[in-house]
Structure formats: structure tokens, C-alpha cells
């Protein structure tokens, strides 16, 4: 009788352990899928927001994603106030380059280091 009680106790402990493990994985992967879903909905919402606002903005040059009217895409401001606009030179011409928005006091320096590291010697 005592052996049966011990076996039942071990069985129920094993069941609860397995259930906890599957619950953990379900929660982890279910949460990840749940977090990935809203940005895709927000992306389609942003597209409709862009379409509705683009008609209300008059711009004869280049209209930035922030709805600023500038002469070239290079002149667009960063979307967030905390971001700093960094220009990564394209080749030898220092006036032409790729614009990257980065955050932090040494953001441009960090971006430049990364670019030079990726470019190699």
C-alpha cells in the first residue's frame, strides 16, 4: 500500500513537472508570436496614415517620413528627438553619404567604428 502511494506521488510530481515545462514553452513561444503580430498590424496602419496625410501636405521637393519637406532625402530629420543624424561617407567624397539615425552622446562615433570594422582594411 505504501509502495502504491509512493508511486502515485512520484507519478503526480512527474506530471506536474512536465505540465510546468510545457506551460513555460507555450508561454514563451506564444508570447513571442503575440509580440510579433502587433507591429505588422501597426505597419498597415502606418501606411494608411501616410496615405491620408500625404494629400494634406504640399511639398514640391522631397517629403520625409516625418512629413518634413526638404530638398533632398539626405536632409530629412531623424524620426525621434533623441536620435542624432550620422552621415557615413560613401567613398572618397565626404559630402555624400548614407544617413543613419542613432541614439546616444557618442552615437555617430560608434556607427563610424562599426562601418570601418565591417569595411575591413
Q: Enumerate helices (H) and strands (E) in the chain, giving the number of each.
A: 2, 4
Question: Can you give the pLDDT at residue 40?
Answer: 41
- For residues 71 and 11, the model is more confident at 71
Q: List, for residues 2-53, the tens digit of each pLDDT value.
A: 777 777 766 666 666 555 555 555 555 555 444 444 444 444 455 666 677 7
Question: Can you give the pLDDT at residue 78?
Answer: 92
List residues bridging with 70 in a β-sheet: 62
Domains of the chain by residue range: 1-56, 73-119
Amino acid at each position: 500500500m505504501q509502495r502504491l502511494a509512493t508511486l502515485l506521488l512520484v507519478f503526480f510530481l512527474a506530471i506536474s513537472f512536465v505540465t510546468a515545462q510545457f506551460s513555460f514553452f507555450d508561454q514563451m513561444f506564444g508570447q513571442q508570436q503575440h509580440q510579433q503580430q502587433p507591429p505588422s498590424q501597426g505597419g498597415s496602419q502606418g501606411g494608411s496614415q501616410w496615405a491620408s496625410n500625404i494629400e494634406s501636405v504640399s511639398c514640391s521637393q522631397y517629403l520625409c517620413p516625418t512629413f518634413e519637406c526638404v530638398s533632398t532625402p539626405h536632409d530629412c530629420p531623424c524620426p525621434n528627438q533623441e536620435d542624432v543624424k550620422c552621415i557615413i561617407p560613401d567613398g572618397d567624397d565626404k559630402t555624400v553619404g548614407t544617413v543613419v539615425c542613432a541614439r546616444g552622446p557618442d552615437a555617430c562615433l560608434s556607427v563610424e567604428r562599426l562601418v570601418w570594422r565591417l569595411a575591413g582594411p
